Chains A and B, each alone.
Chain A
Amino acid sequence: MKKVMYLEFERCIGCRSCQAACRECGGHDAKERNYVEYIDFFESRQTYPMMCMQCKDPACAKVCPANAIQITEEGVVLSAMEEKCIGCRNCTFGCPFGIPKFDFEENKMYKCDMCYDRTKYDISPMCASVCPSDAIRFIDHDEMMELRRRRTQMNLIEGKKPSQNDKWQYVPEFFGVYSD
């Protein structure tokens, strides 16, 4: 997989299209695996998307006593294998981002697999495909690095300095998820 997932939180409009689309992915059993949350609805309508970081050394897999969470050769961290998962929910607590979900009816964990059935063919995952504001993107690694530098460039061109009101433009507003 040559491409990476790239999140730009500020762009999120809270439409939850990514969640609706997540349910559409072939192996997802019509259950979404990503999150969209308000930062604080009392204050603002700012929302942000959260999804699996596909960690290089994932805590969810490490704490799994049954070795049920597999990592593909491309570095995608898959949902627990049905035949191995014992339903202990260690992974849901182990993950520092709170990503894995637990299906109490099926007694198994499920999580974002970056739409592996799509991304293994270099087709964009459903969430990144539909995101209307490009808050979630599936792009080349080089493009991501260029985008990371872009905001700073724009701020330099416009002579901006961070202030109380636009702190969102200065905190790291993007998050690149990538493997080798």
Chain B
Amino acid sequence: MTEFVTKPGVKNLQHPGEKLITTHCCYCGMQCGMHIRLNEKTGKVVGVEPRYDWPVTLGKMCPKGVTAYQTIDHPERITKPLIKKNGEFVESTWDEALDLIEKNFKSLQGKHGKDAVSVFGGVSMTNEKCYLVGKYARVALGTRFVDYNGRFCMSSAAGGFMKTLGIDRGSTLPWPELEHTDCFFMAGTNTAECHPTTIQWLWKARDKGAKMIVADPRETPTARIADVHLDLKAGTDSALANGMMHLIIKEGYVDEEYVNERCNNYEELKASVEKFTPEYTSEITGVSIEKLVKAAHIYGKSPRSVMMFARGVEQQAKGVDNVTLYTSMALLRGQIGKFASGVATFTGQGNGQGGREHGQKADALPGYRKIDNPEHVKYVSSVWGIDPSEMPKAGVSAYEMFDEIQAGNIRAMHVICSNPAVSAPNNNYIWDSFNKLDFMVVSDFFLSETAEFADVVLPASSWAEDEGTTTNLEGRVIRIRKVKDPIGESKTDWEILKLIAERMGKGSFFNYNNPRDIFEEFRVASKGGKADYSGITYERIEKEDGIFWPCPSEDHPGTPTMFQESFGTPDGKANLAAVEWQEPDENPSNEFPHILTTGRVVFHYLSGSQTRRTDFLMEQCPEPYAEMHPHLASKYALQDGDNVYLETKRGSMTVKVKLTKAIREDHVFIPYHWGKELSVNKLTNPALDPTSRMPEFKVCAVKLKKV
């Protein structure tokens, strides 16, 4: 396999004594292409070179991407297993650490049953590893309690797509087609800060006259350039979408032929949006009637439009409803399954797409199979070489695992590639739960806030120290190349899982020598499933600039555009959503009079475990802040830079105030990338969506006090 991949005629700067290794960024779902610079003499990573010929990002990178390489040889990397003795971490050998894990896992499972040990996975790792986490939980540990941080990230999008379209692929179209789109309707997505390299495609389209409609309580750098900024109240997306559909139907913008041929429930939808007149919608959402009407006309008249959304609409107790409604907006206009049009969610985590297809989820098996379907269990069991009766039943969602800890049903947890001590809502409850565990193992490459609670910390490799595949936000399966060997005594996640499996007496099921062995098994395991990877090989990915799943055979070209002929539902038709508007779980009251919403900044990624250790990024954004309108601040006599105390029903924190008029007057925004006393997730609401079990990070009621 080639390490440095480039197309003829593309020039890169090659420094003497260095080699370039072609890979992708470790951070968000854009998976921007990059070459890593490696000093051949010292074997150290020294920098990054743009990958101009990667078709999705064309060499562009955000500041996180440019500095991503700095975490690889970082001085704070964990290089040896750590065991907590008398409250202090002590470096140990792998044998000692594994002995301790084996002893505790076996004794806890002996005393309390197999399900006493749980696994908390993550999707910032390769498909190979994500696949193995599910198998590790079910085969090596035999537990039903496995789930992953995708519940905090995008399970509402998955649930919504499953309901309406029958298959959950983040984007129904490839990104380079966005250039030819006429209108982008973007709800709850601050693309400019969270997926910055997408902006180039939006501008390419705008240069030809494309329009942008952005729904967001804040005038984000994305909303700033919108033709219409729908400045809605957080948590009112379903009313906005219903209101837009009311206007689309009333103004005759529905593609009747498409809807009649390819969709169910049109009459029900018509009836349910009937009452969402611009007046009623405006009353709920706080968006002016004028803007609603303007947005509906622009969206309705555009021949080719893409409906895009992200965590803003998904991280709500009605996240699935929001997704089904926005998707229905695209269906009414007959957009899904066509060139340069469709629906897309911006995948937050690097492998958020791939990681949720491969059976890390409490109720899922590889290839998007279901654990409550006996046929699916039978097939996957045959690939794994176990008896179907040995397959554990479905577990519970990520946040609900902490309820199980509190109830005493989960006694031990292995956290892999995740930092729920920062990223889960209602932090105080999470921390208390970690303290209640009898035994906790964390695999990570930095000592994260979660790792600090652990009894054993296993040093894992970073993304550049192993090879494999990820699936980007388009649904394109791509190659991550190994740049160098793991630092110190750290091991790759799959090696760690294999070692523990061996200790649990299940080594024969984990007979892998390299990630490719896992990929080959995973291709078989996903065969025939909705997310079929069986036709994808490492060689094909390299040759064809990645391959879009489903790809059921080696001579299949992959599927860049989804649903061209039919949808993934049993009858092949999309299900339009007829859903009532429901208010958020928590609303402003006399005691807690304002709305708190959370989100990202461009300089940090998720729980910040990596970006808070990167100098450039910390110089730009060292700490969280409470962003609010000067109008709101004046009620509390708050000036820019003052400290403000914020309190919700669950927790409190004190941060500095940052004033701007680019936010609704009744909202406060705090970014969530910090831990402990700086974690806004102490305040957020864990109300779960009934289908996706995703918490309502985006809306809660808060009170303020000047300190």
Contacts and interface: CB of A to CB of B under 8 A. Distances in A.
B85 to A, nearest CB: 39
A26 B15 contact: yes
Contact of B59 (A15, A130, A157, A158): A130
Contacts of B658: 41
B620 A45 contact: no
Q: Shortest 5 CB-CB distances between A and B: which pairs? A: A132-B196, A13-B192, A20-B66, A129-B50, A20-B63
Contact of B11 (A19, A21, A122): A122
A177 B620 CA distance: 27
Interface string A19-41: 11101101000000000000001
Interface stretch (B197-205, B349-357, B524-532): B197-205
30 contacts: A11-B199, A13-B221, A14-B602, A15-B192, A17-B60, A17-B66, A19-B616, A20-B616, A21-B66, A24-B48, A24-B66, A26-B15, A42-B640, A43-B661, A44-B661, A45-B219, A45-B660, A117-B13, A121-B11, A122-B11, A123-B13, A124-B50, A126-B50, A132-B62, A132-B197, A132-B199, A133-B199, A133-B200, A134-B203, A154-B207
Contacts of B659: 42
B176 interface: no
Q: Which of A11, A43, A133 has the most CB of B within 10 A?
A: A133
Interface in A97-156: 117-118, 121-124, 126, 129-134, 150, 154
B661 A132 contact: no
Contacts of A13: 192-193, 196, 199, 221-222, 602
Of listed B62, B193, B207, residue having the most chain A CB within 10 A? B62
A10 to B, nearest CB: 7
B47 interface: yes
A36 to B, nearest CB: 10
A121 B67 CA distance: 24
Contact of B224 (A19, A45, A131): A45
Contacts of A16: 63, 602-603, 620
B220 interface: yes
B505 interface: no
Contacts of A129: 50, 52, 59-60
A46 B661 CA distance: 12
B630 interface: yes
A40 to B, nearest CB: 9
A166 to B, nearest CB: 10
Given A13-B192, A13-B193, A121 B13 contact: yes
Contacts of A121: 11, 13
Given A14-B221, A117-B13, A133 B616 contact: no
Nearest to A21: B66
A118 B59 CA distance: 15
B553 interface: no
A19 B63 contact: yes
Contact of A26 (B13, B196, B225): B13
A118 B13 contact: yes
Contact of B660 (A24, A42, A126, A134): A42
B593 interface: no
Contacts of A43: 660-662
B290 to A, nearest CB: 13
Nearest to B46: A24
B55 to A, nearest CB: 15
A121 B209 CA distance: 35
Contacts of B209: 154, 157-158
Interface of A: 10-11, 13-17, 19-21, 23-24, 26, 41-47, 117-118, 121-124, 126, 129-134, 150, 154, 157-158
Given A17-B66, A20-B66, A150-B207, A45 B220 contact: yes
B61 interface: yes
A56 to B, nearest CB: 27
A29 to B, nearest CB: 13
Nearest to B620: A16
Given A16-B620, A45-B224, A123-B13, A130 B602 contact: no
A20 B61 CA distance: 10
Contacts of A11: 199, 203, 225
B12 interface: yes
A133 B192 contact: yes
B193 A20 contact: no
Contacts of B67: 20
Nearest to A129: B50
Given A11-B203, A13-B192, A17-B66, A44 B224 contact: yes
A160 to B, nearest CB: 11
A42 B630 contact: yes
Given A44-B224, A45-B219, A132 B13 contact: no
B11 to A, nearest CB: 5
Contact of A17 (B11, B61, B198, B207): B61
Contacts of A17: 60-63, 65-66, 196
Contacts of A117: 13
Interface in B65-117: 65-67
Interface in B201-216: 203, 207, 209
Contacts of B47: 24
Contacts of A122: 11
Contacts of A44: 219, 224, 660-662
Contacts of B52: 124, 129
Contacts of B61: 17, 21, 130, 132
A78 B662 CA distance: 39
A134 B199 CA distance: 8
Contacts of A10: 225
Given A21-B66, A45-B224, A131 B60 contact: yes
Interface in B609-658: 616-617, 620, 630, 640, 658
Interface in B565-622: 602-603, 616-617, 620
Given A23-B616, A42-B660, A45-B662, A123 B12 contact: yes
A46 B62 contact: no
A173 to B, nearest CB: 12
B203 A133 contact: yes
A20 B621 CA distance: 13
B350 to A, nearest CB: 17
A23 B207 CA distance: 31
Nearest to A16: B63
Nearest to A23: B616
Given A23-B616, A158-B209, A41 B660 contact: yes
A132 B28 CA distance: 14
Contacts of A41: 658, 660
Contact of B221 (A45, A118, A124, A126): A45
Nearest to A122: B11
Given A42-B659, A47-B221, 5 more contacts: A13-B192, A13-B222, A15-B193, A20-B616, A150-B207
A159 B658 CA distance: 39
Nearest to A44: B662
B462 to A, nearest CB: 19
A129 B34 CA distance: 11
A63 to B, nearest CB: 30
B570 to A, nearest CB: 41
A122 B10 CA distance: 11
Contacts of A118: 13
A133 B196 contact: yes
Contacts of B13: 26, 117-118, 121, 123
